[in-house]
Chain A
Amino acid sequence: MRLRTNLYKIWAFSARSTLVNRRNVFAVFEMLFWPLIGVFSVGLLTRFLNLQADTVSFILIGAVTMNTVQIAQLDLSYALLYSVWSKSLKHEFIAPVSLSHILMGSGLVGLVRGFLVFILMGCLSVYFFDMDLRRPGLEGLTFFILGMFFNAAIIGALVLALVLRFGQRAEVAAWAFSYLMLLLCGLYYPVSVLPRGVQFLAQLIPLTYFLDYFRHFYGFPAASPHPLLYGFGQSVIYLILSYGLVSLTLKSAYKRGTLLRLSD
């Protein structure tokens, strides 16, 4: 009974995100337009530069990663932004829901949307730019996709914390966070080309290791001896920390009256 009740609560947020995405023309843009632009702009650039096949793959992996992570994290970030935009936050928090319901419900939709974007971009890359997506095998693909979703969840949770603290002003973070992370983790280039101090920051981002891991299948040796271990290890630690941060921010929102202010 308790499990079923919890599943309904989780489903409430999944269903809401799905409905909003279905009725929102921008959601179509997010899932189709930008990924298409991403693959073709980068793919055509590699053709112009007449790069080797493996280097093309290296760069296209970056384009696919950027869009997948971005889309997957957006649903999580939007979970509270929808409520802030519609000023209905207090109606949600007067109901017996917890952060886990919100995170799991919205995260599930992000995961599905992110996966669809990955499939779409992967297919386009294979068909138009001869990228060999079969090379990493099922295991390699699975770990890489999981890694991207872990990173998306971390970004989404951080944005949620910012929304609970700063309200609508944090809206820009929904986009900015992921781009900043992607810039640092070596999206279109190896981390070694970054300035030394920035390289240290890159090592603190799990996605750096997942990109490293995935690209080694295309002939680019991994900088770290155990990229998956570092990637998943950091991801788990950051997920726990970001969940704790959102919980603390929510607690503070109850005390500071943020939930009411954001509903006015």
Chain B
Amino acid sequence: MMQAVIAAQGIGKGFRTGGWGPVKQVLRQVDLTVAPGAIFGVLGPNGAGKTTLISILATLLRPDAGQAQVLGLDVVKDAPRLKERINLAASGAHFLWCLTVEDNLRFYGRLYGLGGRALRDKVARLLDLFGLAEYRATTFERLSTGLKQRLSLAKALINDPELLFLDEPTSGLDQDMAQHIRAEILRLNRETGVTMLLTTHNLREAEMLCSEVAFLKEGRLISKGRIPELQQRLGLGDHLSLIFQDSPAPLDYGALPGVLRHAVEDSRVDLVLDRGDERLPAILEAVYLTDKKLAKVKVKPVDLEEIYREITH
């Protein structure tokens, strides 16, 4: 079995409110395992503890409880060695305002021990990869939000990390730019095989990018798994609405294969199916055999929003 890139057990973290106030627990007993090459999403509303979790795993914050191994190294004891092999791109990219795009990349390259030709080549490659070559001499403060975010991603790859932390990578971007950054993330994962841990509160984004997700609520990890597994576990499924021209077909809808739930109202029948695409032909055939005419058929696949609602409420 391949070693997990992230293996965390019982992670807990609290912060004191104000100078001497009580400790507010932000993470409680979080266990997490991430497989190599995955894009793993950590989802949850604001204040759920996503950034705290990612910061602990990225060696920026010490946990109060529990243990975490990242790339086989302890996030506290082996932090200096681990830092060589990870990197981070965060929302609202922030870099020194008066340094140019190239200066910033060179600065971070040097922090990872790069210099001379190796640094020059690396910076040139990243400038090309993220379409930043024409802005190489532009100072950070003059870049658009999208370009800043691209610089943030470029910086995050300066050390060829084996694990990349993406903290709300498209937060604050317009739709087009967000889409572009998501495509970039997918391409990176596909082409380099780098494992990514991504936090987001954008469920569509998680759906689009992540092979596996975990939900955090009030510092607790309340559910995790592949999206279809979660759907099955929660009894959620694709929605199929059959709207008949007059009365509905006289069928025992609950007994049809793959039907998890059903509701009949006037001429409309709503079914929740475990796997909509596979079950649809058999259901339509059963309806067809009753001679009842369908006015409309609507299929809506289950989405993360539904899973999220089910889990968090």
Which of A's residues lie within 8 Å of B, judged by CB? 4-9, 11-12, 15-16, 19-20, 23-24, 82-83, 86-88, 90-98, 254-257, 259-260, 263
Contact = CB atoms under 8 A, between A and B. Distances in A.
Q: Classify the secondary structure of B's interface with A.
A: mixed
> What 8 pairs across the A-B complex have the smallest Cβ distances?
A12-B110, A5-B113, A87-B94, A95-B111, A96-B83, A8-B115, A86-B96, A8-B110
Interface of B: 15-16, 51-52, 55, 58-62, 80-81, 83-84, 86-88, 90, 94-99, 103, 106-108, 110-115, 119, 139-140, 155, 159
Nearest to A90: B60
Contacts of B111: 9, 12, 92, 95-97
B15 A88 contact: no
Given A259-B60, A259-B61, 5 more contacts: A8-B110, A16-B107, A254-B60, A255-B62, A256-B16
B85 to A, nearest CB: 9
B58 A254 contact: no
Contact of B112 (A4, A96, A254, A260): A96
A8 B159 CA distance: 14
A96 B52 CA distance: 20
A95 B95 contact: no
A12 B113 CA distance: 9
Contacts of B88: 90-91, 94
A8 B114 contact: yes
A19 B99 contact: yes
A119 to B, nearest CB: 26
B187 to A, nearest CB: 23
Contacts of A23: 98, 139
Contact of A9 (B86, B103, B110, B139): B110
B98 to A, nearest CB: 5
Given A90-B90, A91-B155, A263-B94, A12 B107 contact: yes
Contacts of A255: 61-62
A83 B107 CA distance: 12
Given A9-B110, A94-B59, A96-B84, A256 B94 contact: no
A254 B103 CA distance: 27
Contacts of B81: 96
